[in-house]
Structure 1
């Protein structure tokens, strides 16, 4: 069976955008692939993390994955720092990748901004670690969003150069991007032109995965809209970002095309549509939220799941890393 690798950073405040954009898709992939899912805590420390918060966030992200339907028995769920092959292979790839390649990575420019001279070396070399995450398991497919396509291309470049440099044809596969249909781009409930974000100063701007039913209902009721009723066709959403956002959320949670949602609700005032949306959001998210809370109250269980996952991941990665060291010319124990 083909192998999928993907990971998410434990940065806290998981929201609906994280669920619809990544976690829900990962759950669906379990039916057709061997899946390895990783809490990428090494990536997280490319910017400062308070140690206690980082530990809590690692457990929260793992809990959210399990509560959403990721099966840590049939597949592998672990946190990155427990498998040393990621860091070891990343250093080898730092010596394969070229400075010019990394200079072209737009995500570093966006994250470092005007303070790039004060950014960590880890943030700059982040793409080499991402390549190691994927190739340590010789993953064949990687689900990617818009912000990760460039990094996956770099992974393929690193794999190609390694294979060529060491005359090790086809040693590393060239992982294919897994495009999971139209991306669900979830926007702020207070400003439909901005992405939903954990860093937004207003908690009312996002739907957190930890919100209870009453909080979910309140946030949707107070979500920004306009004065016009819903249109009956998608063209009618042009220039109406808040209306588009609420319809998109409804469509994504119901697994329906936007056109079908508008055919059903076109002409409805937002007061009525918000109630329908509330019912859907609570129906889909409340069970996940409740299970997350239960799991977070049992950190020893989460730790045991991650430790077992790390053992299984290590069993795959270590033989591959040993082969890499042989190819490079290192002495193995």
Structure 2
């Protein structure tokens, strides 16, 4: 089938569990803000995904507001982008069920993130954790999104979204859902742990020194970078010299992402530099870029009613786009609605 022309539209979201950290900012939010104005942009706090594992209700509500505050503090403008939390738009869950009936069990069994999260305890995890990639597909396709900015570790889920769209279109003989493209570009699309460069930076790591929290103050940000694990060698003369040095590569990538440049340019600026030179420079840069965001986040978090108002207003806008897509989906499938 030849795909029809769809309105260029971005959709992406962040899960509100455990608090925002630098990986969320560099790998997602900073890129979301940069895409404003390039096409229609829809950004979400995916709270339904959070409950695939048990959440304390108060922590979940607070985490949802924290992610929204992070979006806003980083420069996401509700007048330019739609911002809402997923559970306010029931179409996500409704389309998610239809896609549960389109997706194949074999597809879900290939999802590496489920295997990583479930580990040896797969029989005891929630059905939601197993099936959530089809809900993620619904998140995207409910808005006929054509582009999804994601990290490399989420690329498989966008590929599954394309498979679900293609199967739905084939099964019903209609070109209705777009084949969404993942957008993976720039340095530090996957930010690594400050104590172990082979592991992804996580909100749930054992030590707070492993990560930069987006609500950390300037002193804490600087301290964490200065104490970040490195090897004994200075920076190399070329980027190729970082291939077998995960901690060094991670810090160079973070510098490049914060400075809107490339790892090659960073190495050219600091060829052969020792860590006593580079880490303080990185700390200064991080404080300059991140401390204003953490301050604005704290200001937004002090007014939860305003965050809720922005999310509700965004949900109204999202619903206006989603409802016709959902209604047409029901018509195509043959499900009767009033």
Q: Give TM class, smaller chain.
A: over 0.9
Q: Does 1:261 align with 2:266?
A: yes
* d(CA) in 2 for partners of 1:305, 1:183: 29
SS of match in other structure, 2:72: helix
- Structure 1 equivalent of residue 332 of structure 2: 327
* d(CA) in 1 for partners of 2:232, 2:153: 34
Equivalent residue in structure 1 for 2:212, among 204, 207, 221 = 207
- Structure 1 equivalent of residue 39 of structure 2: 33
Matches within 5 A, 1:102-141: 102-141=108-147
CA contact (8 A) 2:235 2:248 kept: yes
Q: How many residues align?
A: 332
SS of match in other structure, 1:125: helix
CA contact (8 A) 1:25 1:180 kept: no
1:243 to partner: Cα distance: 2.2
CA contact (8 A) 1:12 1:60 kept: no
Quickly say closer, same or farther: Cα 1:182–1:258, change in 2 above 3 A.
closer
1:58 to partner: Cα distance: 0.1
* d(CA) in 1 for partners of 2:145, 2:244: 41
Equivalent residue in structure 2 for 1:233, among 238, 247, 267 = 238
Q: Which moved more, 1:101-110 or 1:84-93?
A: 101-110
- Structure 1 equivalent of residue 4 of structure 2: none
1:183 to partner: Cα distance: 4.8
When normalised by structure 1's length, the TM-score is 0.95
* d(CA) in 2 for partners of 1:226, 1:109: 31
Q: Which moved more, 1:300-309 or 1:195-204?
A: 195-204
SS of match in other structure, 2:252: helix
When normalised by structure 2's length, the TM-score is 0.94
* d(CA) in 2 for partners of 1:156, 1:246: 34
CA contact (8 A) 1:39 1:80 kept: yes
Matches within 5 A, 1:166-177: 166-167=172-173, 169-177=174-182
Quickly say closer, same or farther: Cα 1:170–1:62, change in 2 above 3 A.
same
- Structure 2 equivalent of residue 21 of structure 1: 27
Quickly say closer, same or farther: Cα 1:182–1:265, change in 2 above 3 A.
closer
* d(CA) in 2 for partners of 1:238, 1:172: 40
1:277-321 CA-to-partner distances (Å, cap 9, x unmatched) read: 111001100110110000000000000000001111111111111
